[in-house]
Chains A and B, each alone.
Chain A
Amino acid sequence: MSAEMRLNSFDVAAARRRCLKFRKRILDVSQQVSALHIGSAYSCTEIVDCIYHGLMRRAPDGTSPDTFVMSKGHGCMIQYAILEDLGVLGRADMDAYCKPNGVLGCHPDYGNPGIEASTGSLGHGLSMSVGMALAERGRGTGGVIYVVLSDGEVQEGSTWEAILMASSLGLDNVIAFVDNNDFQSLGRTSETHPSFYPLTDKFAAFGWETVEVDGHDAGAIFRAVTTRRGGKPFMLVAKTVKGKGVSYMENVPIWHYRSPNPKEYAQALAELEAATS
């Protein structure tokens, strides 16, 4: 499929509707538990939706030759919501999220339906993606590995080992996304390491094709990936807002983890509905 055809095949309005649905679903699940990394999931909602619904190829039986790795494992609620919507995970799985009889926890677990790698500890996903991409290349499958990293995760030395390897091996079937919401546990990532930014310069210096886009603009994400030059691994730096869509969550670190109370839940729901209506 040509880049142009793929661009035309991605319906941005439909993506917006899906992202609203996923954010609401995550909000619902938040009422079952005291904590679920809601801010981290909201910041990469459009990215992960675009990967699953725009970029990964899908056969009629639902299988894909491509792979998704949620390297920032703490953002997995968006992956779960999408997998539930696709029918890969069941409603019962989501209802049992983080409960003793459930299989889904705060980080993706390999072996669960639709989960291709266990993550949670940062700095692991990109190396595993490089290995996966090597295997796909070795077998000539044409499989592409899509991997989402957090901006805090890019501080891990192991991430840079993988960045170096992907370009040295010429793995143009690694498509990575940095969810650059500028927050980590102890503050803004740009304040932790001011000289680290802009990130695109660093990735380009390590031999990656790289571009920065608005991480909540699904069309821009899709366009950036599908019109890449190719021949190198590709890194999309997505400028995002932690807790995107809910005013009191946006850029407030406590929403990295906690769940809204009933009053906050109602406000969040109203704001999400209003923003997308």
Chain B
Amino acid sequence: MRNSFAEALYKGAQANPDVYVVVADISPAGSMGKFRDQYPERFINVGVAEQSMIGICAGLALKGCQPFAYTIATFSLYRPFEMVRDDLCYQNLPVTVVGMGAGVIYSTLGGTHHTQEDIAIAGALPNMQIIAPCDPAECTEATLHCAEQRRGPVYLRLGKAGEPVYTDKAVDPWIFGRLRYIRRGSDVCILSYGIIMQKAMQLAERFAAQGKSVSVVSCHTLKPLDVDGIAAALHRHRQVIVIEEHAPEGGLASRTKEIAWDTKAPCRLDTFTLKDAFIHNYGSHDDLLAAHGLDLARIASIVGAA
């Protein structure tokens, strides 16, 4: 996903001379190096100085530019939070704050590098938009969108590297602000976003093996959330499952429950999130997810797909 982001950004920068990349001491993976070499005046490394990264992006945007602030998610959103709030959201500037390696992807780096609450935090900010692509193909679409949208700030929540593509045969195209059905069924609907989509796809296969008709939906735009789309999913399926790599508060799970209540949805609804806890475990990304209760076997057994 990191490489698809960099390649899309490079393309976006070719098309739009106002695209700037302001990074905070992060290696220029993939085409980011190409960007830096070809447009050195538009590639700024602030070093380990994330507050100025956001402030500089704001200043660029105040002069009509289209900046991206790019570093690891905890450092692009949490460290400079007040700059994100005041400089970007309050002034409603078209700056993309890229949160690389969100969730618990940096599994061995510990809690200081985990981004468990970012959707809730970014989502609470007026004017902020949130996009979390589920695979490299969606990442490309989202990045190109960010390189030209003028509506306001975006928090672009990314994975890291090596994610497979799930959306090459998706039923729906990627459209900002709209749910995207990757596959469409009638019995069970799995809502997810980000790279934990892998578990949604695996769960769908288990249901399919039982002869159930399964929808899998990429809720790539977390804000503005496609409330009507989620309400429709809740009313068109007997069982709806949310899987997200985010704390229980303020993410897709809690929003889906609100919508279910508001629209008196008749379906069974199960949600699976990270725990509201800092977990002092290490291991692989999957090990961390399992420590949070997000392992396929557990999810499958609870929802009847074991």
Asked if B87 is an interface residue, CB under 8 A from chain A, the answer is yes
List of A residues within 8 angstroms of B58 by Cβ: 117, 124, 127-128, 131
A interface bracket (residues with beta carbon within 8 Å of B): 20 to 34
User: Interface digits, B218-248 against A, CB 8 Å rule (1 contact, 0 not)?
Assistant: 0000000000000000000000000000000
Q: Tell me the bound Cα distance from A123 to B81 in angstroms.
A: 13
- Complex Cα spacing A170 to B56, Å: 14
Residue A169 at the B interface, CB < 8 A? yes
The docked-state distance in angstroms from the alpha carbon of A136 to that of B56 is 13
Contact A158 B52 (CB under 8 A): yes
- Central interface residue in B58, B59, B61, B62, by most chain A CB within 10 Å: B59
- Chain A residues with CB under 8 Å of B64's CB are 135
Q: Give the distance in Å from the alpha carbon of A158 to the alpha carbon of B42 in the complex.
A: 22
Please report the C-alpha to C-alpha distance between residue A18 and residue B56 in the assembled complex, in whole angstroms: 34
Residues of chain A in range 94-120 having any CB-CB distance to chain B below 8 Å: 110-111, 116-118, 120
0/1 interface trace, chain B 47-59, chain A, CB 8 Å (1 if under): 1010110111111
Contact across chains for B55 and A128 when beta carbons are under 8 A apart: yes
Question: Could you say which of B20, B46, B57 contacts A161, with CB atoms under 8 Å apart?
Answer: B46
Which one of A116, A123, A162, A169 contacts B62 once the chains associate, using CB atoms below 8 Å?
Answer: A116
Q: How far is the CB of A238 from chain B (nearest CB, A)?
A: 23
Task: Count B-side interface residues using an 8 Å CB cutoff.
Answer: 28
Q: Is B280's CB within 8 Å of the partner chain A?
A: no
Does B163 count as interface, using CB distance less than 8 angstroms? no
> Looking at chain B's contact residues, is the secondary structure mostly helix, strand, loop, or mixed?
helix
B65 at the interface (CB under 8 A from A): yes
B59 to chain A, nearest CB (A): 2
The reply on A194 being an interface residue by CB < 8 A is no
1/0 contact string of A125-151 vs chain B (CB within 8 Å): 011111111111111000000000000
Residues on A with C-beta less than 8 A from B62 are 110, 116-117, 128, 131-132, 135
Partner of A127, one of B47, B59, B61, B65: B59
Residue of A nearest to B64 (CB): A135
Determine if B60 and A127 form an interchain contact, defined as CB atoms under 8 angstroms apart: no
A223 to B65 CA separation, bound complex (whole angstroms): 33
Known: A129-B59, A134-B44, A136-B63. A118 touches B54 (CB 8 A): no
Q: Evaluate contact between B87 and A162: CB separation under 8 angstroms.
A: no
User: Which residues of A have CB within 8 Å of B86?
Assistant: 118, 120-121, 124
Interface centre among B46, B51, B52 (most CB of A within 10 A): B52
Residue A56 interfacial (CB < 8 Å): no
Residues of B within 8 A of A164 (CB): 47, 49, 52
Q: Are A165 and B82 in contact (CB under 8 A)?
A: no
CA distance A110 to B152 in the complex (A): 14
List of B residues within 8 angstroms of A138 by Cβ: 20, 41-42, 65
Count CB-based A-B contacts (< 8 Å). 98
Given A134-B59, A134-B60, A161-B51, the answer on whether A118 and B65 have CB atoms closer than 8 Å is: no
Contact B63 A127, beta carbon cutoff 8 Å:
no
- Nearest-neighbour CB distance to chain A for B251, whole angstroms, equals 28
- A116–B65 alpha-carbon span in the complex (Å): 15
Give CA–CA (A110, B87) in the complex, Å. Answer: 10
Whether the pair B49, A131 counts as a contact (CB closer than 8 A) is no
Central interface residue in A117, A127, A131, A134, by most chain B CB within 10 Å: A131
In the bound complex, CA of A191 to CA of B124 (Å): 39
Judge whether A121 and B82 touch: CB under 8 Å.
yes
| A110 contacts across to B, CB distance below 8 A | 62, 90-91
B67 (CB) vs chain A CBs: closest residue: A131
Interface residue from A116, A118, A120, A130 paired with B56 (Cβ < 8 Å): A130
B 75-92 binary contact with A (CB < 8 Å = 1; else 0): 000000011001100110
Report the Cα distance A161→B80, complex, angstroms.
Answer: 12
Q: Write out the residue numbers on chain A whose beta carbons fall within 8 Å of the beta carbon of B60.
A: 131-132, 134-135
Say whether A262 faces chain B, with CB atoms less than 8 Å apart: no
CA distance A134 to B53 in the complex (A): 13
Within 8 Å by CB of B55, from A116, A130, A136, lies A130
Q: Does A62 contact B (CB under 8 A)?
A: no
Going nearest first, the 5 A-B pairs with the smallest beta carbon separation are: A131-B59, A127-B55, A135-B63, A161-B52, A131-B56
